[in-house]
Amino acid sequence: MKFHVLTLFPEMIENAVHTSITGRAAKKGTISLNTVNIRDFSVNKHMRVDDYPYGGGAGMVMEPEPVYRAWKSVADLRENNGKKPRCIYLTPQGKVLNQTLVEELAMEEELVLLCGHYEGIDERVLEEVVTDYVSIGDYVLTGGELAACVLIDAVSRFVPGVLSNEESSQFESIQDNLLEYPHYTRPEVWKNRQVPEVLLKGDHKKIQAWRMEKSLERTRQRRPDLLEKNRPVTTAFFSPTGGTRKAAEIFTGYLTQNPRYLDLTRRKLRKKKIRFSSRELLIAAAPVYGGQLPVTEEPLFANLQGEGTPCVVMAAYGNRHYDDTLAQMKKRLEEQGFICIGAIAPVIPHIYSSVLGKGRPDEEDRKILKKFAVETKKRLEKGRTEGFASVQVPGNPDPEPKQMKPVKKTFDSALCTNCQSCVQKCPVNAISQETLEIRGDRCLNCMCCVKVCKAKARGYDCSQVRQYLETHYSTPRKIEFF
Ligand code: 6GU
């Protein structure tokens, strides 16, 4: 990440950024700082950069030309991809910086920060170069430099490689609008104060529960306003072979530290009615089968009931296409009280081919999933004040059910140990407990049984479909989101 700072006091920025963790990151080259002294671009023989305000009044105003030339010197430095660099003017009149904005800014490759002084900067140059107005809180500083340092520090923490593993594995509670739990180190007793008992024993589950409880208690006491913004996230997924689950987990991990997972691959959980309040968020994830939602006896997600609850739908597919799946999911969930605020179609390994979707989601996919997570957080924040907006998704919400050619399954009874794994794991209860035969009318051809069979007694032959798919759909597709 490159930070360019346009300022009258470069040493103020240099000193702050070249210290501590950001200093270490700058040394390593993970971040870089380029300060530009606006005074170097003065158009006045006395090197002045300010003048009296038109209309009179107290204070001086920074002239437009030096600021413009300073900005131009940076803009011209960039490899010109035709894009104006994102340029942030630090001002108490800006959007108040929060963690979502910090994360969003951390995804940029370069940022230009403009620091004002005196009464401000001539409005016309702001209109010309500024893309974002940012404040760091509701109080007034003497200039934008300290605010720029705060922004650089907060953004740098999100740049990969700036924090060590230890530093970044810290419980990022602010991400969920919760405050951190209290911390303790040796000695066990200090000034007659004991370290809480639970932390001294090694029960990790109990420790985690205690920390969560303290986080909540503390937020309730100190920052009740944050608690209102806290939104519990549930990810409900159907994933017979694990591909959808993986994509859903990656995305969910970018959204929250404390997700709840509902594995709807399990028949029992599809029957259980689950209600969501308007203060929650649902992520619903399913694989694409022949361009549509898989058809199960208890329809997928039919047991979930919202109450104006925002939801994000995810249709994971094996590099052919998601066709009508997102539209189907959106319709189904909106009929059940959810508002679909976003939709995404990640590419996962195809169940019938080891070539299609191989290695997906990859590094590039993770970037897109993260970008969509930040976008989702923005939509949630906006929805809190303005109400949630239902997103448009492509596809037919009511397609004719597709008759898919069944894949030929093989079963080698000589290898079978009758462990019943396939019977129990089959998402649609299509395998007979006694005969181990597959009921063709129920089978989804999801290949779960093949995957869970440790004895390798189950296999399948889909060479025809596979060849067709690999001939037509092997060019890797990019994740789309809406
Ligand atoms: Cl960004 N600038 C100044 N001058 N004062 C501030 C601020 C910024 N944010 C809060 N107060």
Domains of the chain by start residue, with CATH = 2-165 (3.40.1280.10), 173-226 (1.10.1270.20), 233-400 (3.40.50.360), 408-461 (3.30.70.20)
Pairing of strands 338-345, 480-481: antiparallel
pLDDT at 171 over 80: no
Contact 108, 132 (CB under 8 A): no
Pairing of strands 87-96, 132-135: parallel
Ligand 1 atom closest to the Cα of residue 94 is 1
The answer to whether 140 is a known ligand-binding residue is: yes
CA pair distance 24, 125, nearest whole angstrom:
34
Ligand 1 atom closest to the Cα of residue 90 is 1
- Asked whether 141 lines ligand 1 (CB < 6 A), one says yes
The answer to whether 36 is a known ligand-binding residue is: no
Kindly indicate the confidence band of residue 80, based on its pLDDT and cuts at 50, 70 and 90: low
The answer to whether 342 is a known ligand-binding residue is: no
Q: How far away, in angstroms, is 119 Cα from ligand 1 center?
A: 12
pLDDT at 174 over 80: no
CB contact set of 473 (below 8 Å; sequence gap of 6+): 319, 320, 321, 356
- Asked whether 140 lines ligand 1 (CB < 6 A), one says yes
CB-CB neighbours of 56 under 10 Å: 6
CB-CB neighbours of 55 under 10 Å: 5
Kindly indicate the confidence band of residue 79, based on its pLDDT and cuts at 50, 70 and 90: low
The answer to whether 137 is a known ligand-binding residue is: yes
Over residues 260-265, mean pLDDT: 98
CA pair distance 18, 11, nearest whole angstrom:
10
Q: How far away, in angstroms, is 144 Cα from ligand 1 center?
A: 6
> Model confidence over 18-75: pLDDT tens digits?
999 999 999 999 999 999 999 999 999 999 999 999 999 999 999 999 999 999 999 8
Q: How far away, in angstroms, is 143 Cα from ligand 1 center?
A: 7
- Half-sphere exposure for 403 (CA within 13 Å, toward CB): 1
Query: Which strand (E) or helix (H) includes residue 410?
Result: strand 408-411
- Asked whether 143 lines ligand 1 (CB < 6 A), one says yes
Pairing of strands 87-96, 50-51: unpaired
Which pTM was predicted? Answer: 0.93
- Asked whether 137 lines ligand 1 (CB < 6 A), one says yes
- Asked whether 91 lines ligand 1 (CB < 6 A), one says yes
Q: What is the pLDDT of residue 403?
A: 80
Pocket test for ligand 1, best of 111, 141, 152, 155 (most atoms within 8 A of CB): 141
Contact 451, 265 (CB under 8 A): no
For the chain, percent of residues with pLDDT exceeding 70: 98
Q: What is the pLDDT of residue 355?
A: 95
Over residues 158-175, mean pLDDT: 76
Q: Extract the tokens encoding 424.
A: 């129990």
Burial class (CB in 10 A: 0-12, 13-18, 19+), 433: exposed
Q: 187 preceded by cis ω (within 30°)?
A: yes
Q: What is the pLDDT of residue 170?
A: 56
Q: What is the pLDDT of residue 173?
A: 57
